[in-house]
Amino acid sequence: MTTPPDAKSTDPKRLGLMQGFPPAPEKTVRFDNDTSWMFPNTRWSFSHQRELSPTANIWRGSGPVHTFQKALRNDLDAIPFTTMDGRALTWEQSLAENYTDGILVLHKGKIIYERYFGALEPHVPHVAMSITKSFTGLLAAMLQHEGVIDPSASVLHYLPEMKGTAYADATVHQVMDMTIGVKYSELYTDPHAEIWQYAVAGNAKATPKNYTGPDTIVGFLETLKKEGAHGEAFAYKTCNSEVLGWIVQRAAGTHLADLISQRLWQKLGVEENAYIVVDKVGMPMCGGGLSLTLRDLARFAEMMRHGGAFNGHQIVPEAVVADIARGADRDHFAKSGIETLKGWSYRHQWWVSHNNLGVYAARGIHGQAAWIAPGANLVISRFGSHPTAANGNGPLDHVSLPAFAALAAHLNG
């Protein structure tokens, strides 16, 4: 495998991607021929998802914007650290290394660092990828707290359509923590992996010629077959988040875009509307369709760090946040074999470190992250367009996790 060109040489402005009216054919990024998924085109498309797919608005409401205080620091760029594979880098070098599109650091609630690269601007939403799952999981946990969703209930209680599928004998709790035995491959390098049918069904990928598979998210979920047992091991599979999102919407009687708007976006004082990709019948992609701005992701994460309180509202019950931060079964998680996340667990669609800083995170492929470190009074929101889409963020984690830890130590020390 050849080494991809670096962040600087793949800057979409430098490359001239989608510049000109119309852009030249070799500079054009299209959804219908899948070039929008090809690196380095992703360096443009990840900041322009709504120009490629149908989307539902996540309205911020009409209230005032919450304004962050700033206490910008110049000492972060030089922070040294060693990557998991033994290379010496500085914080600043880590940003280019990870094809960062934007990164914002909050310390004690104030912005101490904020950078934008490539196609991203402060007011422009960027794809959140699987950070979407953590929104879906949080809403599910809130509904559970309210008694609207029963975690011990069968999936069939909410979704009788799932009779005959892998989920027929699963509980909502197992879906939330992803301990489902289901035949579903997320191996992006395998053209036969189920992830591709899911992407087509969810309007995230163009429909191939002569495609005869399911053309909606629900239609896709109804094809899933059991493989292995439920409740025994964590297995990271996006189909679980879609099943959970379906349960959430059915139980709440509300579209996920409206739930995020009503319960989070209208209370957080966000700067911008967010949006979510919808399928051909208007159903949102609950496992990966969200786009939002870097600052608004930071507001969301800071709310979590404060036990659900932010902008003058108790937005999420403190018990719900504590339940997530506490994590889940680490033995279940260890069976997934994610080498960069030894000792972690996965709770309500959040990644929990169980480390001495109490770190937990929302994470998405290609470098999307909301990293919350209560023990360092620290929140990092980060968007990227790394060429590799590894499950568990392997290649990125080799750099990011030591970099984030070094930053926390620097601020604490």
Residues that bind its own copies (CB under 8 A): 18, 21-23, 28-32, 48, 50-57, 59, 62, 65, 123, 215-216, 218, 246, 249-250, 255, 271, 273, 275, 278, 280-283
In the bound state with its own copies, the residue whose beta carbon lies nearer, of 102 and 402, is 102
CB of 220 to its own copies, least distance (A): 12
In the bound state with its own copies, the residue whose beta carbon lies nearer, of 150 and 215, is 215
For residues 226 and 231, what is the distance between their CA atoms, to the nearest angstrom? Answer: 13
CB of 25 to its own copies, least distance (A): 9
In the bound state with its own copies, the residue whose beta carbon lies nearer, of 70 and 108, is 70
Tell the burial category of 53 from Cβ atoms under 10 Å away from its Cβ (0-12, 13-18, 19+).
Answer: buried
In the bound state with its own copies, the residue whose beta carbon lies nearer, of 95 and 162, is 162
CB of 73 to its own copies, least distance (A): 24
CB of 53 to its own copies, least distance (A): 6
In the bound state with its own copies, the residue whose beta carbon lies nearer, of 28 and 90, is 28
In sequence order, what are the residues at sequence separation of 6 or more whose Cβ sits closer than 8 angstroms to the Cβ of residue 276? 55, 56, 58, 132, 256, 257, 260, 284, 285, 289, 290, 291
In the bound state with its own copies, the residue whose beta carbon lies nearer, of 39 and 59, is 59
For residues 390 and 6, what is the distance between their CA atoms, to the nearest angstrom? Answer: 18
CB of 350 to its own copies, least distance (A): 24
Classified as helix, coil or strand, 112 is strand
CB of 28 to its own copies, least distance (A): 5
Buried b (16+ CB within 10 A) or exposed e, 155-179: beebbeebeebbbeebbbbbbbbbb
CB of 61 to its own copies, least distance (A): 8
Percent helix / strand / coil, the chain, rounded to 5: 35, 15, 45
For residues 357 and 270, what is the distance between their CA atoms, to the nearest angstrom? Answer: 27
CB of 109 to its own copies, least distance (A): 21
DSSP string, 279-342: -TTS-B-TTT-EEE-HHHHHHHHHHHHTTTEETTEE-S-HHHHHHHHH---HHHHHTT--GGGT
Nearest to 350 by CA among 258, 263, 259, 234: 234
Contact between 17 and 29 (Cβ < 8 Å): yes
In the bound state with its own copies, the residue whose beta carbon lies nearer, of 120 and 357, is 120
Tokens of 348: 């309500």
Cross-strand pairs, 350: 347
In the bound state with its own copies, the residue whose beta carbon lies nearer, of 181 and 288, is 288
